[in-house]
Structures are given as C-alpha cells and as structure tokens.
Structure 1
Amino acid sequence: MIHLKSPEEIDVIARGGAIIADFLVEVRPRIQPGISTLQVDSFADEFIRSHAGALPAFKGLYGFPGSVCTSLNEEVVHGIPKADRVLEDGDIISIDVGVKLDGWCSDSAWTFPVGEIDENTRHLLEVTEDALDRAVSATVLAGFVGDIGAAVVTRVEGTGLSIIRDLVGHGVGREVHEEPQVPNFGRAGTGPALREGIVVAIEPMLSCGTFEIQVLGDRWTVVTKDGTPTAHFEHT
C-alpha cells in the first residue's frame, strides 16, 4: 500500500534530506586516499547525531552494522564500513545515507572519486548523476512511476553502460523502504500514478559492464558479477 504524506510530514522528510545534503558536502573533502570506510562511517554517525532529533536510519536496519553504506568500485550497494577497507587513488566510493528525523526517513546516495580516476570511470559517474537529474525532472504530479525509469533508460541508451535491474528505488516515509517500488527501467505512462503526497527515493545504479549482480559472503555487499565499477546516485 502506498502511504500518502501530509505537507507537514513532507516538510520533516525534506529537513532530513537537508541534513544528508549537508553531510555529503562536508564529507567530500575527506574522501582521500588513505582514509578507511569506517572513518567515513564514524564521521557520518557523528554528523547526523549532531542535529537535534536525527538518527542514522540505516544503523541496525535489517541488522546492518553501519550508520551508512560504503561501497567501493565493483560494489553496487550495502558495503559494510570497515577499518581495513582503505581508499586508494583511482577508487570510487558510493556513500548511501539514511536519516530518521522525528520519526520520518530520508535517503540519499552519492558516488565520489578518490584522487584521480580514469576517463571510463568519470564517464560512468557523469552519466549516472545526469540520469538521476533527468529522473527527478520526470517525477511530476499526474505522471507515473514508469516515467521515472523511462527517463533513466533514455539517458543511458548509447552510452555503453548498463542499468542494474535487480535493485530499485522505493517509497520513503516512516520506514526507509515503502511502496511503491521505483525501477530504473520501464515505459512512460505505466505503473502507479504519481499523486500528491507520494514520497519516493530515486536511485539509478549503473555499471561499466554487466547488469548482473551477486551478494558476497557477508550477506550484505552487492557486487557486479564481472567485477566492473558501478555508480549510485540517489535523492528522496
């Protein structure tokens, strides 16, 4: 069931999103070779909790151990922050952040370059970020969920990149994950109608190779089957 939110509830969700946006600005200069993903997680935890009423929404969610997800290179999502997972020049890191503010959730992700990255990887980041922008622009009152995925497909076609198909966006509210699902592919004019009060997280995930994924032995980290780099950009 899709739960519609009131303007007041949406305002709280937006304020949680603003905390995430500020965090992503603050963490950017810290993304340097030599920093561990656990250090990123610790900074995120401290930053989020410094705002009255805010908590890391991912901490303990389904048993996840971190405050944020830190996914490197071929890791698509749900990378676990670790002290021995150290960033190196040429890496990319996707930081997926959830905030619960006064009982309402916000969710966002960004993929950052570490030092100097190659042109193929830079192309991956640029296309994925632009796909998010276009998908957000396609999210309009009286539209359809299928319009969002169609916008992603239109941007990605002809780029040589693949859309990760088995991971999708979602509704957001009291819970991090609610209805409706928001696939990164689809046909315009199909799927649930976008009504006033619907709140969704839109999150295109692209790879330089296959769209096929698998879960590592930690039962969290999702990687591309061929080991090619991936990017993940998300807004609520």
Structure 2
Amino acid sequence: MNPVIIKDQAQIIKMKQSGKLLARVFKALDDFIRPGLTTMEVNDFVEAYITQQLGAIASTKGQYGYPYAINTSINEVVCHGMPKANQKIKSTDIINVDITLKYEGYLADSSKMYVMAAAQGLAKKLVQTTYEAMWQGIKQVKPGATLGDIGHAIQSYTEERGYSIVREFCGHGIGSEMHEGPDVLHFGKPHEGLSLKPGMTFTIEPMVNQGQPKVKTLKDGWTVVTRDRKLSAQWEHTILVTNTGYEILTLREEEQLPVN
C-alpha cells in the first residue's frame, strides 16, 4: 500500500498549477479531435502542446514503460488504450482521452470522453451517466467523509440506471508521484474505509460498463476491454480535500460554475 501524503500549502499551489495547465490541454484538444484523425495524431498533438506550448512534461510517456503521452480508449476499451497510427476515429465512436501532466515536480491527472456526432443515443446516455456518477462521488468529498462514501455514491448511481462498475481499476492518490495512497474504489459502503483529511489529493475516475463489469487485458499488455464487448465510459478529475469540502484541481473551462 502506497503511503497517503498530506500536501502542505506550497505543494497544493504546485498541484493547482499543474491542474490548470492540464485543463488547458483539454481545451486545445476540444478544437482538434474529430473523426478521420488517427489516435496517434491525437497523441502527437497532445504531447507537442504539453511540451512546446506549456513547457510541462507529458508524464504518461515512460510511466511503467508505457510508450505514449496519452491513453485513447474507444468504445469497448475500458482504459489504457494505446494510440495507433492505423486507428482512425469514426463518426460513431465514443473515445476517452486520459492525460497526465507534470509541472515543477507535481502531477495532474484527468480524462474526458469525446462523443463523435453520429454516436448512438445509448452511447451518449452511457457517457452522460458516467459523468454524473463521477460528480456523485466528488460531492461526497469533505473532511471526515470516508472513501466508502465516495464509492457507494458512484456505485449506487450507476447500478440504479442499469450499468455496472469496473472493479479492477480505481482512483489513486497523486502528487509528486503518479500513484500515491489511497486507492479510491468506485464501489463500497457508506462510512467505511479511510477517513478524508484536508490536504489529501487523489483522483476519482469511475469506469462504467454498458453490460457486465468483467474486463480483460489484450495481448499488448495495456489495453483493457469489456469481456462482452459492450461499451464502456470513463471520466476523471484530480481532487483536493479542503478544510470545508473539495476543490477540483483539473476543472475545465466548460465546467466552471457561473458566478451570480
């Protein structure tokens, strides 16, 4: 079990910087990604933007021997999809782009679903429900709440709507290292598990399947797919536990709450 590292104010400032930069990457990607591009072209665009435009590090590349800057998980791919020069995005696809960025020694991790214009209604519903489930989990975050509160909120929201939660992968603590403690499960029971404290930073990143929860890893050793080959969706944000609740360090511009 990796240790849980409570961040001090200086570390939090650096993590906020990384989170804001990562939000800018997704904003740039919003205007770039489209049907007809290969997933490798998406990878190259993101890597160039992070390194050349932002002066940051595309930290997924080289992490545990992974060769690319991003994960591109299309349709039945649950997570860790590898960009390919011969894989074109289709007008009916849903695709998760998972990006990790390091700036001044600290990491931010986030993923977003992109829904192509001709995607089926059921695919769009899965993507939207997964996004809402992530928020159900995020809203539980405050000092004194538990990891079980987060997992239960996500699990109950998705299962009530006929979907299933992938259990083999979870959120994780993050800071100067990609995977710190705690493990943040997307299922669980209220009031169980680790109690949250201000200064904790971790990801919430539910993977929700249209069909059964079981998954398998392909021969490349990275790509995880649904066993029944039905669709899967995922969203992810990096979260800070504050003195009164939470702050989303990777919040994107389209998610900003309006100021009254």
TM-score interval (norm. to shorter): over 0.9
When structure 1 is superposed on structure 2, of 19-28 and 71-80 the one drifting more is 19-28
Query: Secondary structure at 1:25's aligned position in 2?
Result: helix
Contact 2:21 2:54 in 1 (8 A): no
Q: Pick from 19, 27, 30: which aligns with 1:28?
A: 30
Structure 1 residue 165 displacement after superposition: 1.0
Q: Residues of 1 paired with 2:104 and 2:53: CA distance? A: 11
Counterpart of 1:35, as a letter, is L
The answer as to 2:140 corresponding to 1:138 is yes
Q: Deviations over 1:46-103 (max 9, x none)?
A: 1111355510110100000110111111111111111101101110110000011111
Q: Residues of 1 paired with 2:7 and 2:73: CA distance? A: 31
Structure 1 residue 35 displacement after superposition: 0.4
Aligned counterpart, 1:46: 48
Identity, in percent, stands at: 34
Query: Secondary structure at 1:99's aligned position in 2?
Result: strand
Q: Deviations over 1:195-219 (max 9, x none)?
A: 1111010001101111001000100
Counterpart of 1:229, as a letter, is L
* Residues 46-125 of structure 1 mapped to structure 2, 5 A cutoff: 46-50=48-52, 53-125=55-127
Contact 1:146 1:186 in 2 (8 A): yes
Query: Secondary structure at 2:229's aligned position in 1?
Result: coil
Aligned counterpart, 1:157: 159
Q: Residues of 2 paired with 1:53 and 1:8: CA distance? A: 20
Contact 1:136 1:148 in 2 (8 A): yes
- Structure 1: 4+ residue segments shifted above 4 A: none
Q: Residues of 2 paired with 1:109 and 1:30: CA distance? A: 16
Q: Residues of 2 paired with 1:40 and 1:6: CA distance? A: 35
Counterpart of 1:100, as a letter, is K
When structure 1 is superposed on structure 2, of 123-132 and 28-37 the one drifting more is 28-37
Q: Residues of 1 paired with 2:190 and 2:53: CA distance? A: 39
Contact 2:82 2:222 in 1 (8 A): yes
Aligned counterpart, 2:211: 209
Q: Residues of 1 paired with 2:33 and 2:94: CA distance? A: 9
Q: Deviations over 1:81-136 (max 9, x none)?
A: 11101101110110000011111111001111122211110110110001111111
TM-score norm. by structure 2 comes to: 0.88
TM-score norm. by structure 1 comes to: 0.97
5+ long unaligned stretches in structure 1: none
Query: Secondary structure at 1:84's aligned position in 2?
Result: coil
Q: Residues of 2 paired with 1:59 and 1:94: CA distance? A: 17
When structure 1 is superposed on structure 2, of 44-53 and 126-135 the one drifting more is 44-53
RMSD: 1.1
Counterpart of 2:226, as a letter, is T
